Chains A and B, each alone.
Chain A
Amino acid sequence: MTEPLLRVRDLKTYFVTEHGRGTARAVDGVSFDLYPGETLGLVGESGCGKTVTSLSILRLIPEPPGHIRPGSFIEFEGRNLLTLASRELRAIRGNQIAMIFQEPMTSLNPVFTVGDQIAEAAIVHQGLSRREARARAIEMLQLVGIPDPAEGVDRYPHQLSGGMCQRVMIAMALVCHPKLLIADEPTTALDVTIQAQILELLARLQAELGMAVMLITHDLGIVAGTADRVVVMYAGEVVEQAPTTDLFARPLHPYTEGLLASVPRIDAPAAGGSGGSGGPRGRLHSISGQVPAATAWPAGCRFHPRCPYAWGRCATEPPPLLDAGGGAPGTHTVRCWLVTEPGRRTARP
């Protein structure tokens, strides 16, 4: 078996809340592996800790109010990123690990041309001259499908559409051919036809450059179409982890199950009138209640107050990640006591 490119173990990133009144345990003991060349989907709703996880990997957490707890461990190609000197970290960040963000319009610097912004990383990390870096920038713009790259290189971000800005962001991230690209909701701000273009572009570049991608998203449709494996987060923890086909065929955590059932489906049969389940005004499944606050996660299983199957044990004993079978040990893991007592999974919600 190949060695993981990235190994995250027991990552805890906490924030001191305003006025020092409490501690938000945004990421609270997250572990997962990412293998070379694969696409890992990190899924969850607002506040589940998926973005904080990705920022922690690059040590971009503002300190204070945030801090990564001692005992956390993030290993990239055998080196613990959390103990690297900032000099060594800079050699990795933007070079071997690159990141793209949700808001392409605000993530680019408005006072520099896109060419300058793409060239910067090549100058800093690879020691290219200005002239070489500019040629590289044009090459990158060509690669990400910007029309007229030789002219586009001198444009400013405000002259580009949202989709074009995201292509520029991708060009910036990939200029040093990183081994790992972290994409945090890369298409959330874009229209659906542009989203399709960007996802296709990412898939093509991943195949061409052989990099691993960590795709952070709330959209289960995007995960289904692009990821090899999926990590589902809830309340600062990993609640389920499985190969994509397995997760969608056999969602075992009640949160994953509820989340999948809440999505209105374009592929559901259109029922005429109001009688059918998939047609107009059929009820969607919804998860009752709301995500708890990060300063006060519930005791026991953090999902138990919203869980349709919860029983006594769930309220007191936090479940560990349990092996759910279906392959080698650790292939499909679930943080739920139902694994030990499957008979309690009564009528599916």
Chain B
Amino acid sequence: MTTPLVDVQGLVKHFPGERGLFGLGAPRRVVRAVDGVSFAIAPGQTLGLVGESGCGKSTVGRSILRLIEPDAGRVTLDGTDVLATGARALRALRRRMQIVFQDPYGSLNPRMSVRQTLAEPVVLHRLAAGADVPKRIASLLGEVGLDPAFADAYPHQLSGGQRQRVGIARALSVEPQFLVLDEPVSALDVSVQAQVLNLLAELQRKRRLTYLFIAHDLAVVKHIADHVAVMYLGRIVEQAPVSGLYAGPRHPYTRSLLSAIPVPDPTAQRLRIALTGDVPSPAAPPPGCPFHPRCPHPKKNDRCRTERPSLREVTPGQLAACHFAEDPM
């Protein structure tokens, strides 16, 4: 494998349990949002990070960019230690790593025109000045498939898809190497979602971008990613190249997730593995394997209830955290 562009080792983020009203009462238990996550992404590649609400996938994305300060771990971007960087150097580093958010309605400033939104980072990072700024904005808009006339529009005049394109243009405006895409298409309609996914793929090819693509939709991830990591309760439970993960999932959670996705084919014969119960609270994860209370694996036994399985290589390139990974369902 080539040297990774992004390398994350043992990332941990715990949120302190809140006290009750007005800070009175006993503090609640610590929420272990991210509890030791490691992965690497090679230049020009996409890692899909998937999981259900509350599994910690967004916290991972934000901790890497230090929009949230992680508690422990090591993150390097092209050899630079992101977590050890001081405030001034971090600002320079942020030019190389950017984020696109899920909600195209909440992530653009409603009082700023598209031109102002795109000009701000360009000017702050001194990437253009004077007459070059409008030129740069026009070329950015062109790159994300928007007419340059949109520069004078305000967010409320744009559709969801157009706003998401502006969000992408803003992230690209500082010419980053690495983008965290946090559910970038889940708020969009199917036909618009396809447009934005195509755009992201095209931009990646043209600019040699590296993506961390955070999503709950395994079908979207299958389409866009090279590798996939599946998270459950703050940890990665399975990690593999797309081909391996979808064709031969090793973790019962991955298996159940895949089987739960509705397929737009009424004649499809599918075995649905129903998971019972809800995801447990990350403030009180079950002992042993955190998935064991919901696990449908027929061989589930006492070891699962007491001993936490580590993430280990089951077949070349495919990692799973399950005592029965050699014997998948």
Contact = CB atoms under 8 A, between A and B. Distances in A.
Q: Do A and B bind each other?
A: yes
B247 A259 contact: no
Interface in B92-122: none
Contact of B272 (A163, A196, A264, A284): A196
B262 A163 contact: no
A219 interface: yes
A270 interface: yes
B189 A46 contact: yes
Contact of B260 (A196, A272, A280): A196
Task: Report, as a range, how many residues of chain B touch the other chain.
Answer: 35 or more
Contact of B161 (A264, A268, A283, A290): A290
B311 interface: no
A142 to B, nearest CB: 16
Given A281-B204, A284-B198, A192 B263 contact: no
B278 A163 contact: yes
B223 interface: yes
A221 B224 contact: no
A222 B265 CA distance: 10
A45 B197 CA distance: 17
B261 interface: yes
A164 B278 CA distance: 9
B220 A264 contact: yes
Interface in A66-92: none
Contacts of A161: 278
A263 interface: yes
> Per DSSP, are chain B's interface residues mostly helix, strand or loop, or mixed?
helix
A282 B218 CA distance: 16
Contacts, number: 141
Contact of B52 (A191, A221, A249, A263): A191
Contacts of B257: 192-193
Contacts of B247: 270
A221 B220 CA distance: 13
Contacts of B263: 221, 224-225, 265-267
Interface in B246-304: 246-247, 256-258, 260-268, 272, 274-276, 278-279
5 contacts: A225-B266, A266-B218, A270-B247, A284-B223, A290-B159
Interface of B: 46, 52-53, 159-162, 189-195, 197-198, 201, 204-205, 216-220, 222-226, 242-243, 246-247, 256-258, 260-268, 272, 274-276, 278-279
Interface of A: 45-46, 161-164, 191-197, 199-200, 218-225, 244-245, 248-249, 258-260, 262-268, 270, 272, 278-287, 290-291
Given A264-B194, A264-B217, 20 more contacts: A192-B52, A193-B260, A196-B260, A196-B272, A197-B275, A221-B262, A224-B268, A225-B266, A259-B191, A262-B190, A264-B223, A267-B265, A267-B268, A278-B223, A279-B243, A282-B223, A284-B194, A286-B191, A287-B194, A290-B159
Q: Can you list the 10 inter-chain pairs with the closest CB atoms, starting with the nearest?
A: A221-B262, A286-B194, A262-B194, A191-B52, A45-B189, A196-B260, A220-B264, A264-B223, A287-B191, A284-B194
